[in-house]
């Protein structure tokens, strides 16, 4: 065959293969694909397992390329998942439940931690009880947040409702500044901002979320249905990585080596190493989806139904994917 014709045929075949790379997988080999897993998270040490796994290179060990994307609150993160901009997320259970009930195709693939929030107030506000919150402004990360649910539950348990307070959505890192400057009397926020707030002599914790609802679920690891379907092995690896990182965290806490965890967290989360160490010891880190955890989620779902946040509870089949 003429060499020139052979060369043209080779070029044509190469072009055909590139155009059909979605099924053949050759495009990625040639450098045109993007297998990066985009993982959304919040600026909270609730997501410590993600940060530890990333810092220790656990994803690289499994040949998983990741891009970590920060969101201000769980509602924004779930919106990104709904639009396909994020594959996996470390996020509160409340926005996940709202999203799944609205038809967003995601699944919880592991628990991450429980509790870890609190209502903090300034001494100048003279807030000593739930009743003292009446008529006061209290900041939350937003109506889609688990803190919004906890505030609603706390007020209801004390014969009050959200109508009795002025709820204001704020970016979490800005909440403590507003408290310190006297522009805000109270807030319900997540760790480490509860512990950070208490480093100021004028800020105290009114009530911890462990008192509002003991053992309540908080952050979980979620993945989109498309990601699970098209990258099942990677999803399984991510669950295993989360377990390994969580085990490391718990071992360090048990051995009183919390500082070793603090060193692995992002700088924008560790504003005060001592306060961060206290924060990490203030709530449990967990993994997996055992029956006890699912029962706690069921109880939390029922709370949301009772508060009028959810219309009905979500079945386990629609909520979970187990590796």
DSSP for 51-120? HHHHHTTHHHHTT--EEEEE-SSHHHHHHHHHTTS-SEEEEEHHHHHHHHHTT--EEEEEE-BB--EEEE
Share of the chain above pLDDT 70, in %: 89
- In this structure, the strands spanning 137-140 and 203-208 are unpaired
pLDDT value, residue 155:
98
Domains 37-114+217-314 and 117-212 share a fold: yes
Question: To which H or E segment does residue 29 belong?
Answer: helix 26-29
Exposed/middle/buried for 318, CB within 10 Å: 0-12, 13-18, 19+? exposed
Higher pLDDT, 48 or 10: 48
Whether the per-residue pLDDT at 59 is higher than 50: the answer is yes
Helices 74-82 and 93-101, interaxial angle, to 10°? 40
Q: Kindly report, residue by residue over 168-196, the tens digit of the pLDDT.
A: 999 998 999 999 999 999 999 999 999 99
pLDDT value, residue 18:
39
Whether the per-residue pLDDT at 13 is higher than 60: the answer is no
Mean pLDDT throughout 40-60?
Answer: 97
Phi, psi of 93 (to 5 degrees): -65, -30
How would DSSP label each residue in 260-276? HHHTTS-TTT-S-HHHH
With contact defined as beta carbons under 8 Å apart, do 122 and 176 qualify? no
Q: Kindly report, residue by residue over 232-290, the tens digit of the pLDDT.
A: 999 999 999 999 999 999 999 999 999 999 999 999 999 999 999 999 999 999 999 99
pLDDT value, residue 133:
98
**C-alpha angle with apex 135: 132 to 140, nearest 5 degrees?**
90
Whether the per-residue pLDDT at 142 is higher than 60: the answer is yes
What distance, in Å, lies between the first and last C-alpha atoms of the chain? 53
Structure tokens at 192: 């480490």
pTM (predicted TM-score) = 0.87
Whether the per-residue pLDDT at 10 is higher than 80: the answer is no
Least-confidence region, from 18-27, 195-204, 282-291? 18-27
pLDDT value, residue 255:
98
Mean pLDDT computed over every residue of the chain:
91
Q: CATH assignment of 37-114+217-314, given 3.40.718.10, 3.40.190.10, 3.40.462.10, 3.40.50.2300? A: 3.40.190.10
* Whole-angstrom distance, CA of residue 137 vs CA of residue 157: 19
Length of the chain: 323
- Residue 35 pLDDT level (bands cut at 50, 70, 90): confident
What's the CATH code, domain 117-212? 3.40.190.10
* Whole-angstrom distance, CA of residue 277 vs CA of residue 62: 29
Whether the per-residue pLDDT at 9 is higher than 80: the answer is no
Exposed/middle/buried for 45, CB within 10 Å: 0-12, 13-18, 19+? buried
Mean pLDDT throughout 283-303?
Answer: 97
pLDDT value, residue 20:
41
Q: Kindly report, residue by residue over 117-133, the tens digit of the pLDDT.
A: 999 999 999 999 999 99
The domain limits of the chain are 1-33, 37-114+217-314, 117-212
Which SS3 state, helix, strand or coil, does residue 154 take?
A: helix
Whether the per-residue pLDDT at 26 is higher than 50: the answer is no
Q: Kindly report, residue by residue over 74-120, the tens digit of the pLDDT.
A: 999 999 999 999 999 999 999 999 999 999 999 999 999 999 999 99
* Whole-angstrom distance, CA of residue 189 vs CA of residue 171: 10
Mean pLDDT throughout 156-166?
Answer: 97
Give the residue among 255, 277, 247 at the shortest CA–CA distance from 52: 247
pLDDT value, residue 175:
95
Structure tokens at 163: 């109508």
């Amino acid at each position: 065959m003429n060499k020139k014709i052979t060369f043209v045929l080779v070029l044509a075949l190469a072009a055909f293969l590139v155009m059909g790379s979605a099924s053949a997988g050759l495009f990625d080999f040639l450098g045109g694909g993007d297998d990066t897993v985009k993982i959304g998270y919040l600026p909270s040490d609730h997501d410590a397992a993600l940060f530890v796994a990333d810092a220790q290179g656990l994803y690289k060990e499994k040949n998983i390329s990741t891009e970590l994307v920060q969101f201000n609150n769980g509602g924004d993160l779930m919106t990104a998942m709904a639009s396909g901009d994020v594959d996996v997320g470390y996020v509160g259970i409340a926005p996940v439940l709202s999203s799944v009930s609205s038809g967003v195709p995601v699944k919880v693939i592991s628990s991450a931690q429980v509790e870890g929030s609190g209502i903090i107030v300034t001494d100048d506000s003279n807030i000593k009880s739930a009743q003292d919150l009446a008529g006061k402004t209290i900041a939350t990360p937003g109506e889609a947040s688990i803190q919004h649910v906890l505030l609603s539950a706390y007020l209801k348990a004390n014969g009050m409702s959200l109508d009795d307070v002025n709820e204001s959505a704020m970016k979490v890192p800005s909440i403590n500044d507003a408290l310190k400057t006297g522009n805000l009397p109270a807030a319900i926020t997540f760790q480490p901002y509860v512990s950070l707030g208490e480093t100021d002599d004028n800020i105290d914790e009114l009530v911890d979320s462990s008192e509002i609802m003991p053992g309540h679920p908080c952050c979980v690891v979620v993945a989109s249905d498309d990601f699970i379907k098209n990258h099942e092995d990677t999803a399984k690896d991510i669950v295993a990585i989360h377990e390994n990182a969580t085990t490391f965290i718990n071992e360090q806490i048990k051995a009183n080596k919390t500082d070793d965890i603090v060193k692995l967290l992002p700088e924008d989360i560790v504003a005060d190493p001592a306060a961060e160490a206290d924060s990490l010891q203030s709530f449990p880190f967990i993994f997996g989806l055992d029956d006890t955890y699912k029962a706690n989620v069921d109880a939390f779902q029922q709370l949301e139904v009772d508060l009028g946040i959810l219309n009905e509870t979500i079945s386990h089949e629609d909520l979970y994917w187990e590796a």
